[in-house]
Amino acid sequence: MSRDSVKIYDVTLRDGTQGESISFSIHDKIRIAQRLDELGVHYIEGGWPGSNERDEGFFEEAKKLRLRKSKVAAFGSTRRSGKTCGEDGSIQALLRAETPAVTIVGKSWDFHVKEALRIPLKENLEIIHDSVTYLKKYVDEVFFDAEHFFDGYKHNPKYTIEAIKAAKDAGADVLVLCDTNGGTLPWEIEETVREVNLRLDSPHLGIHTHNDGEVGVANTLYAVREGVRQVQGTMNGYGERCGNANLCSIVPNLKLKLGIDCIEEDELKRLYEVSHFIHELTNLPPLRHRPFVGESAFAHKGGLHVSAVMKKSETYEHVNPDVVGNRRRILISDLSGRSNIIYKAKELGIDLDPQDKRINNILNELKKLENEGYEFEGADASFELLVRKALGDFRKAFELKSVRTITEKRNEDEEPVTEATLIVQVDGVTEHMAAIGNGPVHALDQGLRKALEKFYPSLKEVTLKDYRVRVLARQHGTDAVVRVLIESGDGESDWSTVGVSQNIVEASWKALVDSIDYKILKDESKRAAKARG
């Protein structure tokens, strides 16, 4: 293994699933493995065969995979005391998984040998040696995870070295030093790895860190600087307690900052996509503030920052977002200056002359609305409508004449039903529509689109994909101002709109109207471009 290259070993499908609220089905795990292969990781640890039906099922399905680059690895433990490897269920389950690589975890801290295993220290060394020797007869690559290595080294460095030497002498391909409790600091990692290299003759070392001290990534990078050539971690930092070292930060730092060969440049461009694909399967809140792959990783809000970024992106970006598959975002808020408006408008396909006096009108309207509680950072469609209205480049698609909602609950045990009645007018033609929904917003959404589909048939394509309410002044209780964010889509693209009011139905209505207006505007712009082309 080259000293200038590092192998990436992903443990998302095992360690990652130990994180709170994270659970993947067999089908999910197969899909994740395929995406990790596209990303170019070298090893995918699929789980612990024999521990549960889900991991057993994964390894059966994984045998059918035709991976481009990645190798699937099975995880298990050293044999139990008093059992031969041939008798040990965990060892035999590893062989039944039929993977080209296996990883076994063993005790390297004398405290655990004495208190957890309750066996003599020498016997633990024999168990490690026997387990690796046995597996090497049947498996191409065997990796040894030295559990609690760094804690053990602090207390009894001689024994921890003996533990990993037992694995090395038995033929282990990589000795993985584990910071299992996640409490070691970077300079401690660095010093310990350096000493291990001095004590052992040309060891092939790996690193497996947890993030309990918020230094999992830093610890990994320090270990690599000292010669570690296998890096273990999880996508998005998932894992037990505070998570594992985050490969979404480790990989670009290795590649872009340390110049170490780990994955290819075209593979690195898939990092954002793969990160978010896996995160979608967790059904957890967005990864907005994660480095490299978060929506906010390359988001700029202050006017001075935006002005500088427009001239030279490196003024406020440590890497180009394109290299990790992310994108630059210019946020619009009451902190915005003219640069923000110009850049954001250009992003939306609207070219503004920097000297255009209407930019000030847009800024003033923006600040007025944000003072009322509006926020356009996550509502690009509403912002585009605001800009086009200020430029006189907007035609009102319909006029509301009347709207009413009635919610009725007929029985204590039954769910309430809401009816929305609307009257709209399009080019002088009046349309009356009633719709039933499972709440006021649903009923309004159904009724408004049905009333307008006669005039704008493409509205049949629109679906309401997400609906969020934020209370802006909690001290006012039920009289508080609320902000409603709605995400809509038509199968081709998604867009977000915002509405604000003390009345939650009114706030929702404003966001819904913006969504419909935006869809009609988008379709008309597309038709106009097609006619010109």
Residue 425 CA to residue 435 CA, distance in Å, equals 17
Same domain, 334 and 472: no
Q: Report CA torsion sign: 352, 354, 360, 365.
A: positive
Where a domain ends, among 309, 337, 372?
372
pTM of the predicted model as reported, rounded to 2 decimal places: 0.74
Across the chain, mean pLDDT equals 90
Same domain, 472 and 350: no
Q: Report CA torsion sign: 80, 81, 84, 85.
A: positive
User: Cα separations (Å) of 373 from 283, 330, 368, 470?
Assistant: 28, 20, 9, 10
In a domain, 413, yes or no: yes
409: three-class secondary structure by DSSP:
coil
Here the CATH number for the domain that contains residue 60 is 3.20.20.70
pLDDT tens-digit profile of 161-214?
999 999 999 999 999 999 999 999 999 999 999 999 999 987 899 999 999 999
Same domain, 226 and 307: no
436: three-class secondary structure by DSSP:
strand
Same domain, 497 and 354: no
Which 8-state DSSP code applies to residue 495? E
CB of 480 closer than 8 Å to CB of 416 = no
Same domain, 358 and 486: no
Same domain, 57 and 202: yes
**Which residues span the domain enclosing 189?**
7-263
Q: Write phi, then psi, for 379 (nearest 5 degrees).
A: -140, 65
pLDDT value for 473 = 66
CB of 89 closer than 8 Å to CB of 97 = no
Same domain, 33 and 148: yes
In a domain, 55, yes or no: yes
Same domain, 412 and 348: no
Same domain, 143 and 212: yes
In a domain, 280, yes or no: no
Same domain, 242 and 332: no
In a domain, 287, yes or no: no
pLDDT value for 2 = 47
CA end-to-end distance (rounded Å), the chain: 55
pLDDT value for 220 = 98
120's CB contacts (< 8 A; 6+ apart) are: none
Same domain, 458 and 340: no
Which 8-state DSSP code applies to residue 415? P
Provide the β-strand partners of residue 425.
399, 430
Where a domain ends, among 242, 263, 284?
263
Same domain, 189 and 333: no
Here the CATH number for the domain that contains residue 462 is 3.30.160.270
Q: Write phi, then psi, for 422 (nearest 5 degrees).
A: -130, 150
pLDDT value for 167 = 97
Residue 3 CA to residue 492 CA, distance in Å, equals 46
pLDDT value for 533 = 66
172: three-class secondary structure by DSSP:
coil
Residue 164 CA to residue 167 CA, distance in Å, equals 5
Where a domain ends, among 263, 290, 311?
263
Residue 143 CA to residue 435 CA, distance in Å, equals 62
In a domain, 379, yes or no: no
Number of domains making up the chain: 3
* pLDDT tens per residue across all 533 residues of the chain: 445 799 999 999 999 999 999 999 999 999 999 999 999 999 999 999 988 889 999 999 999 999 999 999 999 999 999 999 999 999 999 999 999 999 999 999 999 999 988 999 999 999 999 999 999 999 999 999 999 999 999 999 999 999 999 999 999 999 999 999 999 999 999 999 999 999 998 789 999 999 999 999 999 999 999 999 999 999 999 999 999 999 999 999 999 999 999 999 999 999 999 998 999 888 887 788 999 998 888 777 665 665 676 667 777 778 988 999 988 766 665 455 677 778 777 877 888 888 888 888 888 888 888 888 888 877 889 988 988 888 888 888 899 999 899 988 878 778 888 999 999 999 999 999 999 988 888 899 899 989 999 999 999 999 888 888 888 865 555 567 889 999 999 988 889 999 999 898 999 999 999 999 999 998 888 887 788 76
In a domain, 233, yes or no: yes
In a domain, 516, yes or no: yes
pLDDT value for 417 = 87
In a domain, 487, yes or no: yes
Which 8-state DSSP code applies to residue 70? -
User: Cα separations (Å) of 143 from 50, 54, 121, 174, 175?
Assistant: 19, 23, 21, 5, 6
